[in-house]
Structure 1
């Protein structure tokens, strides 16, 4: 069968899909990965081809960049967020508004030039010509659902983290059904309905939540049951294609720790949040350990001269360094979490409030696989003490092994391929 992936234009959204795309290719299926080019991550299309997959660059760079830039720019603590905080029952309304603005970027209003919507139109035109049997779409790239419906393909969401979109949609439907809520019109319909009508489609909930959902989240981390069909898939860590450095070809002579802030590192480090980079490096300078830190140029400048036991690089795939590491400090991103779990590495999570980082941090701590640091109150001394605990106390390694066992309980991507074949046959138009 032919399978079309549609990806939100960021590496953090592409990388979770790569192992499943490989599994489908290995089973003999044709795979194409579509993504708007050069919007958030200007190298994401190159990353698709570097993984050995066929990329379909989509247009609309100028339109999408202008629409998404205000939401994705680094800002202070008042930055709009898509995170759903269990301690804040109203956070989902803020997330709904932010998400609506992001999704609206794919569906700009009709224009005097004929109403072209570059990303959506390019995808629909390709789907009409290529005729995919199955479209797997990122929750932040719902153009996949529209394209699938126009050509009769089966379609499903491929989650990159917790199902915040599903939860927001469920809460919205509850409000619409409750006269006391004051919500009388679906807030997403004014921009979504014209698009569907343009292609002769009516609205169905599957347009926003898929015919089914592929879920990479560990079962014990799922906190809110939703009335949707979920297919569990093991998240296999992938961090890009790169040659193995010489210094990683042998085991370290002393404990190795990793500091990584993920692809959104600019939002957590340096002047944007007060993360004490320079002070933290100074605090570990006298310790008998090696610290590997992934830092961009701005962060290196802010950190000042590095101690002899700190190695800084712009980027390093975690599946290269974590097999020989004793601990990792990170922002709570799903890819970093999955890599740490895969290699049984204890974690110190400084959660960035973007999607489900706080949920991930609580899960790591609850399972005894690591510790959580409050990003609003983090300081170098507490970071150093927590890092030493992770390295020296055996209980954290035992907790990390328990998370690893949970991961292995989920079906591997290759095991899910027959499920996708069956579901595609059932739902294809």
Structure 2
């Protein structure tokens, strides 16, 4: 069968989809991976066949112009799931902002994605959880579609809670910005909004049950398989570390999209000089350029593959991104999450803390001393390593991507249908 993967133009989202795309292709299926033109070279480097669907050159400029959104916009935080702490008005504002942001990502690629789907006729569309163009393209050609997570599923749980809150609001006062936007775009093609636009006909969840969110959406588990882009293992990484090794990785999105990191890298690295440990700072060239003189125990590296580095580490300090978090999870490495409150990052960091597999430190409290204290706590208590190992065992026990292929083949048999038709 023909399988179309699609993602917004974010490398980290693409990398989470890549192992399943490999598995579908290895099983004999035709695979295409579609995103905006600026991502096609990165897609091609994964070994997959890329399809350019529109351009989104303005997204970085827009995000940099709204850098404060990660720190100051309560509506950008999706971490609170306690119904007693939520209101209809507050969740409506959150969904309004999310629909606006999602449209900025999806609208530039939507028409071209539908056009390609109509010409190529996929049987299945697998979409990143923020790529709402995916289910619309699937409906336009009658393809089955599945949503593959690269977050904890706060998006669907929040939507479920919002709909419950809306039930207590007068019908004439209810609003649903996500349904309004996607419904209007589907109507242009002869379709009608359903909740499957938000949940997929199936949700593929890589998180172990101890950390996942049990929504009402139909779900199937899948093991997270690390992929960090084309990689070469450096010579220094071939030998076992001579002392405790710590990795600090702050990801790419804050630098590339928001104009810089939200913590002081140099000050934190200086504070860690007091440890009897090797600190490997895995940074982008732009991040490295911001550093001054560093302590002797700090090794700054660029483009090192986390999946090769982390097995030798006793701790990962990171910014809350899903790729860093999930890489450490499957290698049983305790984590110190130093993050802004955007998206689900506090939720995932708190989940590790509750499981005693790591600690959470909001970025505005991340002084060098606070980071040092928490690093010392994790390294000084063997239970963190033990509990991280327990979560690793739970994570890698989930079905490999190859084992999920038959589940998706069955979904196609069950849900392939006639395409939408305009009047």
- Please name the residue that 2:292 is paired with: 304
Determine the C-alpha separation between the residues in 1 that align with 2:134 and 2:128. 8
Among 355, 379, 383, the residue aligned to 1:391: 379
RMSD of aligned C-alpha atoms?
A: 2.6
Distance 1:397 1:270, change over 3 A: farther
- Please name the residue that 1:104 is paired with: 103
Determine the C-alpha separation between the residues in 2 that align with 1:316 and 1:95. 36
- Please name the residue that 1:144 is paired with: 134
Instruction: Give the 5 Å matches for 1:238-257.
Output: 238-257=227-246
State the secondary structure of the residue aligned to 1:202: coil
> What number of residue pairs does the alignment pair up?
411
Gap regions ≥5 residues in structure 1? 39-43, 109-117
- Please name the residue that 1:313 is paired with: 301
- Please name the residue that 1:264 is paired with: 253
Deviates more, 1:279-288 or 1:20-29: 279-288
Task: Return the offset for 1:107.
Answer: 6.7
Whether 2:14 is the aligned partner of 1:14: answer yes
* TM superposition score normalised by structure 2: 0.89
Determine the C-alpha separation between the residues in 2 that align with 1:267 and 1:347. 23
Whether 2:62 is the aligned partner of 1:69: answer yes
Q: Is the 8 A contact 1:74 1:272 kept in 2?
A: no
Among 49, 74, 78, the residue aligned to 1:83: 78
Task: Return the offset for 1:297.
Answer: 4.7
State the secondary structure of the residue aligned to 1:188: helix
Among 126, 134, 147, the residue aligned to 2:124: 134
Determine the C-alpha separation between the residues in 2 that align with 1:144 and 1:83. 22
State the secondary structure of the residue aligned to 2:177: coil
Distance 1:395 1:128, change over 3 A: same
Among 145, 158, 171, the residue aligned to 1:155: 145
Per-residue CA deviation, residues 101-130 of structure 1 (Å, 9 max, x unaligned), is 02333676xxxxxxxxx5222111111111
Whether 2:412 is the aligned partner of 1:416: answer no
Q: Is the 8 A contact 2:232 2:304 kept in 1?
A: no
Structure 1 residue ranges (4+ consecutive) displaced by more than 6 angstroms after TM superposition: 267-271
Distance 1:284 1:189, change over 3 A: closer
Q: Is the 8 A contact 2:223 2:399 kept in 1?
A: yes
Among 156, 165, 180, the residue aligned to 2:155: 165
Among 45, 48, 53, the residue aligned to 2:43: 48
Task: Return the offset for 1:328.
Answer: 0.9
Q: Is the 8 A contact 2:2 2:30 kept in 1?
A: yes
Task: Return the offset for 1:71.
Answer: 7.7
Determine the C-alpha separation between the residues in 1 that align with 2:256 and 2:373. 24
- Please name the residue that 1:58 is paired with: 53
Q: Is the 8 A contact 2:204 2:219 kept in 1?
A: yes
- Please name the residue that 1:111 is paired with: none
Task: Return the offset for 1:100.
Answer: 0.8
- Please name the residue that 1:227 is paired with: 216
Task: Return the offset for 1:185.
Answer: 3.4
Distance 1:400 1:185, change over 3 A: closer
Per-residue CA deviation, residues 301-357 of structure 1 (Å, 9 max, x unaligned), is 443111121111333221011111111111222211111122111111113322211
* TM superposition score normalised by structure 1: 0.88
Per-residue CA deviation, residues 14-51 of structure 1 (Å, 9 max, x unaligned), is 1111111111111111111111122xxxxx32222111
Task: Return the offset for 1:396.
Answer: 1.4
State the secondary structure of the residue aligned to 1:179: coil
Distance 1:28 1:84, change over 3 A: same
Distance 1:66 1:398, change over 3 A: closer
Distance 1:389 1:177, change over 3 A: closer
Determine the C-alpha separation between the residues in 1 that align with 2:97 and 2:208. 26
Per-residue CA deviation, residues 201-253 of structure 1 (Å, 9 max, x unaligned), is 12222223221211122212234x43221111111111111111111111121
- Please name the residue that 2:200 is paired with: 210
Determine the C-alpha separation between the residues in 2 that align with 1:258 and 1:94. 37
Task: Return the offset for 1:181.
Answer: 8.3
Tell me which of the two structures has the higher relative contact order, counting C-alpha pairs closer than 8 angstroms and 6 or more residues apart. 2
Task: Return the offset for 1:66.
Answer: 5.6
Whether 2:332 is the aligned partner of 1:344: answer yes
Determine the C-alpha separation between the residues in 2 that align with 1:397 and 1:373. 18
Gap regions ≥5 residues in structure 2? 418-423
Deviates more, 1:344-353 or 1:317-326: 344-353
Q: Is the 8 A contact 1:74 1:266 kept in 2?
A: no
